[in-house]
Homo-oligomer: A and B are copies of this chain.
Amino acid sequence: MYSIRLKKILERLLVIYEGAYMKIINGGVTAAKGFKAAGVYAGIKKVKKDMAMIYSEVPCKAGGTFTTNIVKAAPVLWDKEVVTSSAFAQAVVINSGIANACTGKEGYEYCIEMAKTTGEKLDIPADAVLVGSTGVIGKQLPMDIINKGIARLVPLLSDNAEGGSSAAEAIMTTDTVKKEIAVTVVIQNTLVTIGGMCKGSGMIHPNMCTMLGFVTTDVNISKELLDEALAEDVKDTYNMISVDGDTSTNDTVLLLANGMANNPAITEKNEDYTIFAEALNYVNTYLSKKIAGDGEGATALFEVKVIGADSKEQAVMLSKSVITSSLTKTAVFGHDANWGRIFCAMGYSGAMFDPEKVDLFFESKSGKIQITENGTAVDYCEDEATKILSEQEVTAIIDVKMGDESATAWGCDLTFDYVKINADYRT
C-alpha cells in the first residue's frame, strides 16, 4: 500500500519534472516511437552517402511548407500534392546530389517513380510517400541508380539512433556536419517525442524554404493543428535564416506525426498544443541555427536580434536585411566592428526607423560591447570589439527604440571558402 502510493507520487513528480523541463535526448528522426530510417551510398554522388529513407510503422498525418520560388523542383510539386490531398503519409525517400529542378515533365515522372518504387517495396500506397531531392539543378536523376538505392534502403531501416544518423548523413551536400536533434515533452501525463534532421548549406534564404528539413513526432494531433503549428513555426525559424540570399527551388520542411505516443488527441489550441508547439519551435530553431552556422564556407554563426521594434514585420525586415548583406557578412569574417554596414543594410531593408535613435551592441561568449548610442559611435575599444567578433557565435543586438516587438535572424560570414565552394560546385 505504502509502496504503491510512493510509486504514484514518484511518477507524478517525474511527469511534473519532465513536463516543466523539455528534455533534449540523443537521436534524430528515429527518436519518436514507430519511426525508422536509413541512409546509403547509391552512386549519384562520387563517394558519399546520397540516399535516405524515413518510414513510420503506422500512417502519419503530414504537414509541409515549401519554397516560394516560382521555379519549383519536381519533389516540391509532388509533396505539396501529398500533404494536401493524400489520406496519409508513411514514408519519405530522399536523394542528394541532384535537385530534380528545371527537369520538366521527365523530371516530374522520375519523382513519381521514386514514390512508386518506394511504395511497392514498403507495401504502402505511392501517394503516402513523400520525396526530397537536393543538389545540382537541371540534371535528370539516374533512375536505375535511384531504384537500386531504394531497394537497398528498405532492409536497412532501423529504429535506433544510428538509423536516423545515417539518414541525416545521406542528405548532406556541401554541409560539413550532419544536423539532427530530438526532444521529449510530457502532454497529459504522456511522453511525446519530436525528432528532426535537416541539411543546408548553400542557396539558403528560405522563404518557405535548398534546405530540407524533416521532423518526426509520435504526438497525437489533428491534421489542422499540425499544419498550423508548422506554418507558424517556420516563420520564426527556417524563414529567419540566410546563407547567401538565394531562395532555393527545393526548400521543403516536412513534419510527420504518427500518434504513437498515445496522448489524448490535441484538437484545440489549448495548453497541450502550446507544449507541443514550444517543443517543435525548439527543434526547428536548433536545426535552423545549425544550417546558418554551417553555411557554405562559414566560420561563424551570425545572429541578429532587433529589439524595440514597432511591429514584428519591421523587426523581421531589419534583422533579415542585416544577415543578408554581403558587406556585413565579410566584416564578420574579418572580425571587424564595421557598424556602418549594419546601419546601411537596415537603411535599405524597406522598413522605416530613425537611424539617429539606434543603439547597437555586439555580444559573444567573450563579452558584450556597445558600439553606437542614438545612431553615432560611442567611444568603444576596437580591440575588445574584435575579440568579441572573433568567436564562432556572434550576436548583434539592435535596439530601434520604437516599441516592444522583436525578431531574431541567423546567418553566417562570407568567406574565401564560400567563393571556392561555389566557383567550382559542379566540377
Interface residues of A (CB under 8 A from B): 68-72, 99, 101-104, 106, 136-138, 202-203, 205, 207, 244-249, 324-327, 330-331, 333-334, 336, 338-341, 343-348, 352-353, 355-356, 372, 374-377, 414-416, 418-420, 422-427
Q: Provide the main secondary structure of the chain A interface.
A: loop
CA A245 – CA B205 in complex, angstroms?
Answer: 14
Q: How far is the CB of A113 from chain B (nearest CB, A)?
A: 18
CA A326 – CA B247 in complex, angstroms?
Answer: 11
Inter-chain contacts of A248 with B (CB < 8 A): 344
Q: How far is the CB of A334 from chain B (nearest CB, A)?
A: 3
B347 touches A424 (CB 8 A): no
CA A140 – CA B183 in complex, angstroms?
Answer: 51
Interface centre among A101, A339, A422, A427 (most CB of B within 10 A): A422
B344 touches A249 (CB 8 A): yes
Interface centre among A205, A345, A352 (most CB of B within 10 A): A345
CA A427 – CA B334 in complex, angstroms?
Answer: 10
B377 touches A138 (CB 8 A): yes
Do A104 and B375 contact each other (CB < 8 Å), given the known contacts A249-B347, A326-B244? yes
Q: How far is the CB of A331 from chain B (nearest CB, A)?
A: 7
What residue in chain B is nearest A246 (Cβ atoms)? B327
B331 touches A99 (CB 8 A): no
B423 touches A347 (CB 8 A): no
B348 touches A246 (CB 8 A): yes
A69 touches B347 (CB 8 A): yes
Partner of A138, one of B202, B339, B348: B339
Inter-chain contacts of A202 with B (CB < 8 A): 327
Partner of A137, one of B99, B203, B325, B343: B343
Do A137 and B336 contact each other (CB < 8 Å), given the known contacts A352-B70, A419-B416? no
Identify 10 new A-B residue pairs, CB closer than 8 A, beyond the known A104-B374, A245-B326. A71-B344, A72-B347, A99-B340, A104-B356, A138-B372, A246-B344, A249-B340, A330-B418, A331-B425, A334-B425
Q: How far is the CB of A148 from chain B (nearest CB, A)?
A: 25
B69 touches A348 (CB 8 A): yes
Inter-chain contacts of A345 with B (CB < 8 A): 246
CA A376 – CA B346 in complex, angstroms?
Answer: 38
28 of the cross-chain contacts (CB-CB < 8 Å) are A70-B346, A70-B353, A71-B355, A101-B340, A101-B344, A102-B355, A102-B372, A102-B375, A136-B338, A136-B340, A137-B338, A138-B339, A138-B343, A203-B341, A203-B344, A246-B326, A246-B341, A247-B347, A249-B347, A326-B414, A330-B423, A333-B419, A334-B425, A334-B427, A336-B423, A336-B425, A336-B426, A418-B419
B348 touches A68 (CB 8 A): yes
Inter-chain contacts of A203 with B (CB < 8 A): 327, 341, 344
CA A420 – CA B336 in complex, angstroms?
Answer: 12
Inter-chain contacts of A138 with B (CB < 8 A): 339-340, 343, 372, 376-377
A419 touches B422 (CB 8 A): no
A340 touches B137 (CB 8 A): yes
CA A68 – CA B344 in complex, angstroms?
Answer: 11
B102 touches A343 (CB 8 A): yes
Inter-chain contacts of A331 with B (CB < 8 A): 422-423, 425
Partner of A344, one of B137, B374, B375: B137
Partner of A249, one of B207, B343, B372, B418: B343
Inter-chain contacts of A330 with B (CB < 8 A): 418-419, 422-423, 425
B419 touches A244 (CB 8 A): no
A137 touches B416 (CB 8 A): no
Q: How far is the CB of A243 from chain B (nearest CB, A)?
A: 9
CA A341 – CA B356 in complex, angstroms?
Answer: 39
Inter-chain contacts of A246 with B (CB < 8 A): 325-327, 341, 344-345, 348
Q: How far is the CB of A317 from chain B (nearest CB, A)?
A: 11
Inter-chain contacts of A136 with B (CB < 8 A): 338, 340
Q: How far is the CB of A122 from chain B (nearest CB, A)?
A: 31
What residue in chain B is nearest A335 (Cβ atoms)? B423
Do A348 and B247 contact each other (CB < 8 Å), given the known contacts A102-B340, A138-B340? yes
